[in-house]
Amino acid sequence: MTELPGRRLLLVHAHPDDEAINNGATMARYAAEGAQVTLVTCTLGEQGEVIPPEIAHLTGEALGSHRRTELAAAMDAVGVHDFRSLGGPGRHQDSGMMGLPENDDPRSFWQADVDEAAADLVAVIRETRPQVLITYDPNGGYGHPDHIQAHRVAMRAADLAAEPDFRPDLGAPWTITKIYWNRVPRSVAEESFARLKDVLDELPFSASAAVDDVPGVVDDSLITTEIDGTAFAGAKAAAMRAHATQIEVVEPWFALSNQLAQPIFVVEYYELVRGERGGAQAGVRSGVRSGVRETDLFAGISEVSA
Ligand SMILES: [Zn+2]
């Protein structure tokens, strides 16, 4: 068996661009440190609204295929070489925003059988053997059907991958040690939007988004982990810029097709939902540990080469 790098990270996202917005700095940092970083994207984002007028005619499969090339450029910017589509490109289609007729398309990811989709992810987990998984919370961060479904499939696959009796044909069982959900602490979001207000006039965007437009905003007390990606701010911005159909970047701000300005977070935040909090405070009694944020997703994990 080929020897794998000691630290292995898996990210599960709904559409091309979600990985750059949520985890661009984290991916760049761990790739630069030599960790194995694997991205699984569940759809090609065929229902996304296109920003640049010259390619605004792209829809459906043509848009999906264009967004694959954007994703490849984004991954190049953060130094990640292993990125895949769940079940293969085009297996699951973008379901569109909640309540749209596309939600009912039998090819949409929203209509996918969770266990069937999870089996495709089990194969990836058993092959790449990640100690750490990053995905969304049960609401998908903001209620988009594909984000909710990505959460369900990722959490289900993490369980099934560890089951020796589940589909032995997909590889040897593997237990993921730590699972994180993407988060933004409310205080950080509020401070960033306050700063945005002061410079909004100088930006090419029509208005400011609101704190609650940002996926995954929660009370600060829920944040267990912060990854300082300041050194990778440029890589993150470049990855976001690569998704030109979806994102307009004016560092350190960006806007989606709604033209509402938002901050780019170069410190990225997480809530540990499975596994033990690690780090310098490990071993200290839990009352003291509870308020201390991890600064490394792999904290507390002893490196094993598979
Ligand atoms: Zn998305």
Task: Express each pLDDT in 98-127 by its tens digit.
Answer: 999 999 999 999 999 999 999 999 999 999
Residue 15, marked binder = yes
Domain for residue 288, yes or no?
Answer: no
**Looking at the domain assignment, is residue 141 inside a domain?**
yes
Question: How many independent structural domains does the chain possess?
Answer: 1
Question: What pLDDT does 92 receive?
Answer: 98
283 belongs to a structural domain:
no
Strands across the sheet containing 253-255: 207-208, 260-263, 253-255, 248-250
d(CA 44, CA 29): 25
> Which CATH number characterizes residue 98's domain?
3.40.50.10320
Each residue of 131-187: pLDDT tens digit? 999 999 999 999 999 999 999 999 999 999 999 999 999 999 999 999 999 999 999
Where the chain has pLDDT below 70, the residues are 1-2, 279-291, 303-306
Q: What is the pLDDT of residue 5?
A: 82
Cα of 168 vs centre of ligand 1, distance in Å, is 32
Decide if 75 is inside a domain: yes
Q: How crowded is residue 134: how many other Cβ atoms within 10 Å of its Cβ?
A: 25
Report yes or no on 297 lying in a domain.
Answer: no
User: Do the domain assignments include residue 85?
Assistant: yes
How close is the Cα of 237 to the center of ligand 1, in Å?
17
Q: What is the pTM of this model?
A: 0.95
Phi, psi of 253 (to 5 degrees): -125, 165
92 annotated binding-site participant? no
Mode of pairing for the β-strands spanning 132-135 and 82-85: unpaired
**304 lies in some domain:** no
Ligand 1 centroid vs 191 CA: distance in angstroms?
24
Predicted confidence at residue 290, as pLDDT, reads 55
The residue to which tokens 């310098």 are assigned = 280
Count CB-CB contacts under 10 A for residue 171.
16
Domain containing 86: what range?
8-274
C-alpha dihedral, 187 to 191 to 193 to 195, nearest 10°: 180
Q: Report pLDDT for 286.
A: 45
Using only C-alpha atoms, the chain has a radius of gyration, in whole angstroms, of: 19
- What's the 18 CA to ligand 1 centre distance in angstroms? 5
How distant is the alpha carbon of residue 193 from its chain centre?
Answer: 22
85 secondary structure, DSSP code:
E
Q: What is the pLDDT at residue 130?
A: 98
The whole-number pLDDT of residue 284 equals: 47
CA of 146 to the centre of ligand 1 (A): 7
Q: Is 18 annotated to bind ligand? A: yes
Q: How far is the CA of 21 from the centre of ligand 1 (A)?
A: 10
Pairing relation of β-strands 178-185 and 267-274? antiparallel
**Integer Cα distance of 115 and 144 in angstroms:** 20
Does residue 299 fall inside a structural domain? Answer: no
Q: How far is ligand 1, taken at its centre, from the CA of residue 33, in Å?
A: 27
Ligand 1 centroid to Cα of residue 17, in Å, is 7
For 11, the token pair is 């990210």
